[in-house]
Chain A
């Protein structure tokens, strides 16, 4: 039964994907959402079923799939590894994707690529669930690329729009660079495992099973500690690439060119958390390499701060949300890095997963609300062009407010508890001797970023929904509230944004649940001082107040800071000048060489088989005597060789 449920989770979206893909050949614009929503609902039900039946047993259960291949040194075993860590993310992915699919059925209504949209959507959920359920690092990598591809296809969904096509390519390329790190990490790890004594009996694929990796970790750590550090570093590069951390954060804001529900699902709630999941999954390895974790912490810290800074100066509502996603992901990595302190790994992972879950709810909600605004405003998303929409979009106003309040960390909402858990972990870690100073800095940045988060969130909210009513010309005179189909899933997400924090955090539900995973079962001491709660409440409220005031000023803080913030701290500019330009130059050089030297040579070589064949045809003259003679000569030659040996 559990086996069936476990396999239903990835396979049901795959079926949906295939059906939608077939429908897209028919150019069907009416019914593609039905198979998609049904298949995703089945997946969501199956993953909830897995969670409530306790399919992971005591710790981890691996569900055998089928032996894809078993020949010699190659053996590919497709199996699913189910534990509480992956079940947590799995439920978030499937439930939120079902909600967003329902929303999309109305949002994408009438689009030419309706069936194509749902096909890729289901394909994404398939890849994502397989990524989460993988029992093997290499298999995880395969689906890691799978989600990357689906993300590429969805960012470039309106591929006739040049900016969308460019954004898709940018996202893909930046991710490729990071994925190279991931791949090299896997290869190096495979090599290291191959050096351990009992590796010879295993195939290359089996070596990379998570169970096996964790089993041989102590050996590797004692024999090749510096190589293990490199492995962890390279894997971390893959993780921060997918999770859009500095210096790879540049792709995520541009990814907002895709349809808004996609931004909500892939670029806010699920795919970008894959990096965090990878780090959490590999936490036993990371425990051996505290320096890498500390580096992750710094990167997360930088990202959280600069992304918040950039978010403050954006006019584009979706981009504000995008930068806020980047910033919140920075929090997750800061939390994870606390694992470098002895004995804090479990708490760190728990806090990161907690913030991940709540963030998925309220950020998806915010994006969908932004989608409603966009829908009503005729695809205008620039906050300078509209305002005071609370009369036009009364329900969206409430929903956006809930999401924004949760993001800003107003007391008793989801974001409040989870952000607090992250800060508490950092506080705990800051008393450590070796890395204490780092975490003190990170705690400070955490507070500062929390303040900035409250500022830009409330600024965006008040600018959009309060003040004098401004409606752009593009909206025409039919600016209207979204349909019920769009609002219903948002209400569900809003419930999550309201109560998920309280339900999961202070009650220790999530912590207790995650502790069932073997790697996270260690006893942990963790305290959340009351003053921390008070301080962060004060910060959130103060930030909200400042933000609401900023929103009223028409030209918010023009000046050097705003200039830098608007230009994204010139990071994109620096990339294009110092990395892309030299690369393009050398690419031009190589292209010239390719055409004039290599191709010329290759064409000559390619002509050889044909020439030789034409010569050979002389001996294929259709006459039996020639044939028998040539055959006899051949046999005689071999016979003479044998006899004269």
Chain B
């Protein structure tokens, strides 16, 4: 096989990511030729760009299903293993729902930029998932975060929106500094940027303190993406400041990228030295993230901030699963199913909120939802099901997600103090979370004086949350499809 053939074969394997990134660039370019003008034309543009984005996602999906994955994955810049495929799936499912949510809510002055950035973000996730080199990992992560800056800047151009954009940018830069520092130390101690080589360093019997500190810094950089404590501070402010569609993207895409990157870095047999340092860090971080996320959410009256803290708390559960994965060298499937369930319930909830908002309702405070069931029944039922899933009750995907995390956390048995302690902590947190989700749900169904039905119907949003709700319910019955 000569070089050209080899290159083409490798490009074919990475086709989904390539389709998304090239598609995103084309969408960005379409802004140049698109004419803005009267209301009617904006409507056409919305449909055209939404359909185009959907087309690229569908193309990426086709590219994903029509390719043959070789037995030998090699050890180049990218490695198309199971993690990579799982991250592609997560990106495409989430991406399709996000496009549907954006369809009628994208900022009309920056339509091309909005969809372009969104699709490029989606393209970044498969890159992170397939990355087999620190350079490609960093590249993928930045492909997710740089469009985010732009998106935050264009979706809402009032004071709060600008504040959110600036805050996110600053905090992101701050954490990226940690990340780069960590990467350079990792390169220094292992002598290579290739992850397979780094795995050997991490897996060796003894590890220098520098390696562990390097790993800590890398973890810090990724902790920002997944809004883990103490890198979570920006989340409530950004969620509150930005638009609903952007908040839903922020709640999902960076989190997927961050966790996929964490699985990439730690998904190997760690040596005893590294293990004894990384596991306590992960457990402590997870405990703090769960506790702070849930306790802060319990105190919120603002719905957006509550959702932000709830997404922080979900990161805590996911970190717990990650710690179990590192400890027991288990399969990362638990994390992927949790992320899938999380996608369905969180994006579904946001889609319902977006529908209510686009129909003229207010969704800032929890109290704004009072009696929403009588004003907007379909969206309220959708929200209720998503909330049940977030609580983790049976008949929803959230149940299996939490259950699997719990099982993998306590896999070592009740004799093991860590697994017992973390199991109890997770259970307590699940109860606290149930309390504030239930508060939101009871608001939906309480009787209210302000009986003003909301009649505007947005098919795309309706479709978005219907898909999410159906997935949430169906995944309960076929959990292996998550």
A residues adjacent to B (C-beta < 8 A): 66-74, 606, 609-614, 616-617, 620, 622, 624, 626-628, 630-631, 633-635, 638-639, 642-643, 645
User: What chain A residues lie within 8 Å of B134 (beta carbons)?
Assistant: none
Chain B 254-265 near chain A by CB (<8 Å), digits 1 or 0: 000000000000
Q: Tell whether, in the assembled complex, residue A609 and residue B432 are in contact, meaning their CB atoms are under 8 Å apart.
A: yes
Which B-chain residue is minimally distant from A614 (CB atoms)?
B299
Chain B 402-420 near chain A by CB (<8 Å), digits 1 or 0: 0010011001000000000
Chain B 274-306 near chain A by CB (<8 Å), digits 1 or 0: 000100010000000000101111111000000
Q: Tell whether, in the assembled complex, residue B295 and residue A642 are in contact, meaning their CB atoms are under 8 Å apart.
A: no
Q: Answer whether residue B138 sits at the interface, using C-beta atoms and an 8 A cutoff.
A: no
Tell me what chain B mostly uses at the interface: helix, strand, loop, or mixed.
helix
User: What chain A residues lie within 8 Å of B236 (beta carbons)?
Assistant: 620
Q: Tell whether, in the assembled complex, residue A617 and residue B216 are in contact, meaning their CB atoms are under 8 Å apart.
A: no
| Contact A69/B213 with A610-B299, A616-B295, A616-B296 known, Cβ cut-off 8 Å | no
B residues adjacent to A (C-beta < 8 A): 167, 170-171, 174-175, 178, 209, 212-213, 216-217, 220, 229-231, 233-234, 236-237, 277, 281, 292, 294-300, 330, 333-334, 400, 404, 407-408, 411, 432, 435, 477-480
User: What chain B residues lie within 8 Å of A70 (beta carbons)?
Assistant: 480
Q: Tell whether, in the assembled complex, residue A609 and residue B231 are in contact, meaning their CB atoms are under 8 Å apart.
A: no
Q: A72-B330, A631-B231 are in contact. List 15 more A-B contacts (CB 8 A).
A: A71-B333, A71-B334, A73-B407, A606-B435, A609-B294, A609-B295, A609-B298, A610-B299, A613-B296, A624-B167, A624-B170, A627-B234, A631-B233, A635-B217, A642-B277
Q: How far is the CA of A624 from the CA of B175 in the complex (A)?
A: 13
Q: Tell whether, in the assembled complex, residue A613 and residue B231 are in contact, meaning their CB atoms are under 8 Å apart.
A: no
Interface residue from B178, B330, B480 paired with A635 (Cβ < 8 Å): B178
A490 to chain B, nearest CB (A): 39
Which A-chain residue is minimally distant from B299 (CB atoms)?
A613
Q: How far is the CA of A216 from the CA of B5 in the complex (A)?
A: 59
Tell me the total A-B contact number using a CB cutoff of 8 A: 88
User: What chain A residues lie within 8 Å of B213 (beta carbons)?
Assistant: 639, 642-643
Q: How far is the CA of A192 from the CA of B479 in the complex (A)?
A: 30
Q: Can you list 26 A-B pairs, Cβ within 8 angstroms, ordered by A?
A: A68-B477, A68-B479, A71-B407, A72-B330, A72-B408, A72-B411, A73-B407, A609-B435, A613-B298, A613-B299, A614-B299, A616-B295, A626-B233, A627-B171, A627-B233, A628-B170, A631-B230, A631-B231, A631-B233, A635-B216, A635-B217, A635-B220, A635-B230, A639-B216, A642-B209, A643-B213
Which B-chain residue is minimally distant from A606 (CB atoms)?
B435
User: What chain B residues lie within 8 Å of A622 (beta carbons)?
Assistant: 237
Q: How far is the CA of A634 from the CA of B217 in the complex (A)?
A: 12
Which B-chain residue is minimally distant from A625 (CB atoms)?
B170
Q: Tell whether, in the assembled complex, residue B480 and residue A620 are in contact, meaning their CB atoms are under 8 Å apart.
A: no
Q: How far is the CA of A609 from the CA of B298 in the complex (A)?
A: 6
Q: Tell whether, in the assembled complex, residue A613 and residue B297 are in contact, meaning their CB atoms are under 8 Å apart.
A: yes
User: What chain A residues lie within 8 Å of B178 (beta carbons)?
Assistant: 635
User: What chain A residues lie within 8 Å of B230 (beta carbons)?
Assistant: 630-631, 633-635
User: What chain A residues lie within 8 Å of B400 (beta carbons)?
Assistant: 69
Which B-chain residue is minimally distant from A68 (CB atoms)?
B479
| Contact A630/B479 with A612-B295, A614-B299, A639-B213 known, Cβ cut-off 8 Å | no
User: What chain B residues lie within 8 Å of A73 (beta carbons)?
Assistant: 407, 411
User: What chain A residues lie within 8 Å of B295 (beta carbons)?
Assistant: 609-610, 612-613, 616
A604 to chain B, nearest CB (A): 14
Which B-chain residue is minimally distant from A627 (CB atoms)?
B233
Interface residue from A72, A616, A639, A643 paired with B292 (Cβ < 8 Å): A616
| The 5 residue pairs across chains A and B that have the minimum distance between CB atoms | A613-B299, A634-B230, A627-B233, A609-B298, A613-B295
User: What chain A residues lie within 8 Å of B294 (beta carbons)?
Assistant: 609
User: What chain B residues lie within 8 Å of A609 (beta carbons)?
Assistant: 294-295, 298-299, 432, 435
A333 to chain B, nearest CB (A): 36
| Contact A638/B216 with A609-B295, A613-B297 known, Cβ cut-off 8 Å | yes
Q: How far is the CA of A606 from the CA of B436 in the complex (A)?
A: 11
User: What chain A residues lie within 8 Å of B212 (beta carbons)?
Assistant: 642
| Contact A645/B408 with A613-B295, A614-B299, A617-B299 known, Cβ cut-off 8 Å | no
B137 to chain A, nearest CB (A): 20
Which B-chain residue is minimally distant from A619 (CB atoms)?
B233
Which A-chain residue is minimally distant from B408 (CB atoms)?
A72
Which A-chain residue is minimally distant from B330 (CB atoms)?
A72
Interface residue from B233, B300, B404 paired with A630 (Cβ < 8 Å): B233
Q: How far is the CA of A507 from the CA of B181 in the complex (A)?
A: 88
Q: How far is the CA of A320 from the CA of B385 in the complex (A)?
A: 48
Interface residue from B171, B231, B479 paired with A624 (Cβ < 8 Å): B171
| Contact A642/B216 with A67-B480, A71-B333, A616-B292 known, Cβ cut-off 8 Å | yes
Which A-chain residue is minimally distant from B300 (CB atoms)?
A613
User: What chain A residues lie within 8 Å of B334 (beta carbons)?
Assistant: 71
B308 to chain A, nearest CB (A): 10
Q: How far is the CA of A68 from the CA of B477 in the complex (A)?
A: 7
Q: How far is the CA of A612 from the CA of B300 in the complex (A)?
A: 11
Q: Tell whether, in the assembled complex, residue A628 and residue B480 are in contact, meaning their CB atoms are under 8 Å apart.
A: no
Which A-chain residue is minimally distant from B212 (CB atoms)?
A642
B258 to chain A, nearest CB (A): 16
Which A-chain residue is minimally distant from B432 (CB atoms)?
A609
Q: How far is the CA of A628 from the CA of B407 in the complex (A)?
A: 35
A159 to chain B, nearest CB (A): 23
Q: How far is the CA of A639 from the CA of B218 in the complex (A)?
A: 12
Q: How far is the CA of A610 from the CA of B301 in the complex (A)?
A: 11
Q: Tell whether, in the assembled complex, residue A620 and residue B296 are in contact, meaning their CB atoms are under 8 Å apart.
A: yes
A77 to chain B, nearest CB (A): 12
Which A-chain residue is minimally distant from B411 (CB atoms)?
A72
| Contact A69/B479 with A624-B170, A642-B209 known, Cβ cut-off 8 Å | yes
User: What chain B residues lie within 8 Å of A74 (beta carbons)?
Assistant: 407
Q: Tell whether, in the assembled complex, residue B404 and residue A71 are in contact, meaning their CB atoms are under 8 Å apart.
A: yes
